[in-house]
Structure 1
Amino acid sequence: MDTLSQTTAAMSAAVITGAGEMEVRQVALPEPKQGEVRIRLEGCGVCASNLTPWSGPDWMEFPTEPGGLGHEGWGEIDAIGEGVTDLAVGDRVAALTYHAYATHDIATADSVVKLPPEMAGKPFPGEPLGCAMNIFRRAEIKAGQTVAIIGIGFLGALLTQLATRAGARVIAISRRSFSLDVARRMGAAETIEMRDHWEIIEKVRHLTDGQFCERVIEAVGKQWPLDLAGELTRERGRLIIAGYHQDGPRQVNMQMWNWRGLDVINAHERDPKVYIDGIREAVEAVASGRLDPSPLYTHTYPLSGLDEALNATRDRPEGFLKAMVMLR
């Protein structure tokens, strides 16, 4: 483990040292620059997008920067750089930063969202919650629609709750019985085990009187769920791609998509400002009770257990939905 002189302020940060290997190091505590704040982190969610770098692909460079890969952090501002006027030391915030597997991280002032007093003490991994709000907005789900959600992990469960509370009828499709139980608790009207392609299609056909679904959200990130999503979307319906698709190219049935006149939405955002807008919406939704993610935080780990958190995110043991690294 690295050591620093007693005169140097230090923080703890996870460093990925190789494929499936990490350690916690003591590194210099960063100081915020012009327009920045420093956040003493309370926790950071673990994202499935970390799994490819964790596996050690050829393009990955080790060791990572201290705290690297962590981007779902929240905590309390403990230092402010020059020029920051609308934030103060002591403000509790969620932030879009990228070195949050650490006790502290630096954020630009425009990538920080304040958390209201009624959320004191509650975890708030802002990036995935904001992602769910952005997907929900782009899906344009309305009362009375039938919505199929394929893949009930953390994201799919959030979207099930949002769609149900908007007045839609949700058909939840997932391979794990535990996930289907979660979907029912989140308000799903019907659940289908993701086992046989044609059996699922026939069940949805029956449940919708042959019309299929106005909205279908693919939240898995694999070829088969993407194929299934097209089959379940009705004519002039909207197919929303929300799963993580970064492990290689995909094929689509363009003939069917064209014949049915589908609107296909890639709901992955890239503009940080849009992410921040989503986080703000998530704060409002949680504060108002429209969204309650608390039952979905199923596994917590200390910073030294980041390797276990990443492995659980990969392996999905029974009862797993979301891993959180807790830093205080």
Structure 2
Amino acid sequence: MIAAVLEKPKTFIIKETAIPNISNDEIKIRVEGCGICASSIPVWEGREWFNYPMEGGSPGHEGWGIVEEAGTEITKVKKGDRVAFLSFHAYAEYDVAKESSFVKLPPQLANQPFPGEPLGCALNIFNRSDISKDDVVAIIGIGFLGALLCQLAKERGAKVIAISRRSYSLGFAEKYGADEVIPLTSTWEVANKVAELTGNAFCSRVIEATGKQEAIDIATEIVAEGGKMIIAGYHQDGLRQVNLQKWNWKGIDVINAHERDPRKYLSGMQDAVEAVVNGQMDPELLYTDILSIDELNKGFEMTRSRPDGFMKALIKF
């Protein structure tokens, strides 16, 4: 089979490798595609604690495809069924997943890309945010995840304020129903605008989806007394500081919405399947760049630099 191998930082090469074998509790998947995740950028850029070359297909973990073979202990699917799955080798023509690591895709999603891991992540964050129709929800950072959360919050009936540095991202937020959009300039400019829009009541829910210090500072200023601040951004580039005095004074709940239990990953993916089928979430507009496997380096560079109009890159076979 063909697989992408990260030979050294910023250098995927395409190689022929052996098609993987499966155990009785696994399925073999003919991969249709795999998303490029921003959390994989450090691996692609290179860090001293990573070892290269990496295994073929790594670090692809947003795959979907068709069951090519099912082990004797598999009960949920059969050959020919379509699945979204969790693995770390999905930048390859074939991959393997255990029964606890995939969800079956229904006929309503035929021919649609379905990177299950990030879609499931969006549903898990949304569920942890405890949003109701009476909430005023600020979402800081309108990338792929923030845009999905914007849509989910609007479907729940909440008022949504979208905050982002990139003007085109705010355009996506408006398409997904945001009631107000605010350019992310300085902490105080954003806080003053939110105060104006809410009559100084601020936001009962604030979702930080950038992974940056500045977004935590803004969230601290615009969350309402007794509100909830949800940390959805992936903070991977150093320590953070928080204004604990203000958190204490406001009496807020701070929720780390990152899941680590594989069962939660799977349940989030199943919730995502249902949300897309029911029209609660429609990610199609956000798949802005569909690339071939030999364009993987280009896809990672786009994910890192985020050129105008970019939201999400998918690799398709």
Partner of 2:231: 241
Q: For 2:242 and 2:10, how far apart are their aligned partners in 1?
A: 33
The residue identity in structure 2 corresponding to 1:101 is Y
The residue identity in structure 1 corresponding to 2:209 is A
CA displacement, residues 276-315 of structure 1 (integer Å, 9 cap, x when unaligned): 0000000000011111000000011111110000000001
Q: For 1:84 and 1:146, how far apart are their aligned partners in 2?
A: 44
Partner of 2:91: 101
SS at match of 2:237: coil
Shift of 1:153: 0.2
Shift of 1:323: 0.5
Partner of 1:153: 143
CA displacement, residues 68-113 of structure 1 (integer Å, 9 cap, x when unaligned): 1100000100011221122100010101111111111100012110
2:315 equivalent to 1:297: no
Q: For 1:158 and 1:86, how far apart are their aligned partners in 2?
A: 28
Aligned 8 A contact 2:76 2:104 in 1: no
So what's the TM-score if we normalise by structure 2?
0.99
**Identity over aligned residues, as a percent?**
53
1:50 to 32, 40, 43: 40
Partner of 2:245: 255
Aligned 8 A contact 2:142 2:170 in 1: yes
SS at match of 1:28: coil
2:244 equivalent to 1:280: no
Shift of 1:192: 0.3
Partner of 1:227: 217
Shift of 1:60: 1.1
Q: For 2:137 and 2:158, how far apart are their aligned partners in 1?
A: 7
Partner of 2:306: 316
Q: Which runs of 4+ in 1 moved over 6 A?
A: none
2:180 equivalent to 1:178: no
1:67 to 51, 57, 71: 57
RMSD of the alignment, in Å?
0.7
2:24 equivalent to 1:34: yes
Partner of 1:7: none
Q: Which aligned pairs between 1:15-30 and structure 2 lie closer than 5 A?
A: 15-30=5-20
Q: For 1:230 and 1:69, how far apart are their aligned partners in 2?
A: 34
Q: For 1:254 and 1:196, how far apart are their aligned partners in 2?
A: 20
The residue identity in structure 1 corresponding to 2:249 is W
The residue identity in structure 2 corresponding to 1:272 is P
Q: Which aligned pairs between 1:87-166 and structure 2 lie closer than 5 A?
A: 87-166=77-156
Unpaired runs of at least 5, structure 2? none
Shift of 1:19: 1.1
CA displacement, residues 103-148 of structure 1 (integer Å, 9 cap, x when unaligned): 1110001211001101100000000000000000000000021000
The residue identity in structure 2 corresponding to 1:81 is G
So what's the TM-score if we normalise by structure 1?
0.96
Q: For 1:202 and 1:59, how far apart are their aligned partners in 2?
A: 42
Partner of 2:255: 265
SS at match of 1:94: strand
